[in-house]
Amino acid sequence: MKKRKFFAACVAISLLALTLGAAEPAPRSTPADASVRVFVLKYKRVEEAALLIRPHLSDSASVTLTQKLNAMTVTDREENLKTIRKVIADFDAPPRGFTFAIKLVRARADVPAGTMAREIGGLGARLKSMFQFNDYSIIDSAVMQGVEGLPVSYRLGDEYILTFSIGPAASGDELLLSPFALSRVKKDEQGHPSIAPLYRTALPVTLNQTLVVGASKEEGSKNALILIILAQETARPGTPGGKSVRK
């Protein structure tokens, strides 16, 4: 009786071992025609590139990231590596630089119709068609420079601050400025300044096309602020910041 129990226990252990062995995945084999390439990224993060190349990898490919060097080692078929090389080259481009010509305009409906300010130029008719105000005057003009992926901030006039971040631009003509925010600097009776947010949004911008934004109503409903924006690409990446240009 004891021998039968012992034999049954041995059979049970053997079956368990076979079951566990069958559950283990077979090791991934590397194809005989596989090659190895090391890609070192200069401008973009290697983690982002690894996600980008995933659709171009074969089932037997392997990718190893070396984050300290911002590099990745890819083992795959040669034809896939050629595609991956091109994808990474297009992705790992230097950040694009842009200039933003900004005009901050005060619009008023509680005054008689005035002469359109010369600084507004040919946009006067467009403003009149978009908004129901009698008078438009320039508060400040600025030419601001920025680089994709970085924030830009500048003070317009004596009491307004414009800030935005330039989203990744790839190679197209569409930019996303987010968050795009206009704030006002107020002072209390003791002269202590405080920042009051007026307008905040995600603003899509098309290069070389003038954009008119009714940014904020002021205290009275008959007064408003309007932003006129023209974005253009610079020949080489600029430096974040801004320079006021009064015309």
Give the pLDDT of residue 187: 83
181 and 208 share a domain?
yes
Same domain, 106 and 59: no
> Are 56 and 75 part of one and the same domain?
yes
**Domains of the chain: total:** 2
Please report the pLDDT score of residue 174 as a whole number.
92
Residues 142 and 116 occupy one common structural domain: yes
Residue 120 shares a structural domain with residue 157: yes
Residues 113 and 55 in one domain: no
Domain's final residue, options 43, 60, 93: 93
Q: Please tell me the predicted confidence (pLDDT) of residue 99.
A: 96
Domain shared by 136 and 222, yes or no: yes
The answer to whether 73 and 108 are in contact (CB under 8 A) is no
Domain interval for residue 46: 29-93
Q: Which amino acid does the sequence have at 138?
A: I
Residue 144 and residue 152 in contact, taking contact as beta carbons nearer than 8 Å: yes
Rg (CA), the chain: 31
* Residue 144 domain flag: yes
The pLDDT assigned to 221 comes to 58
Q: What is the pLDDT of residue 121?
A: 60
Whether residue 151 is preceded by a cis peptide bond, meaning omega within 30 degrees of 0, is no
Reference 50, options 84, 76, 96; nearest CA is 84
What are all long-range contacts of 52-59, with beta carbons under 8 Å and residues at least 24 apart? Answer: 52/87, 52/88, 52/91, 53/84, 53/87, 53/88, 56/80, 56/83, 56/84, 56/87, 57/84, 58/31
* Predicted confidence (pLDDT) per residue in 7-17, tens digit: 444 444 444 34
Ranges of residues in the chain whose predicted pLDDT is under 50? 2-3, 5-27, 219, 237-247
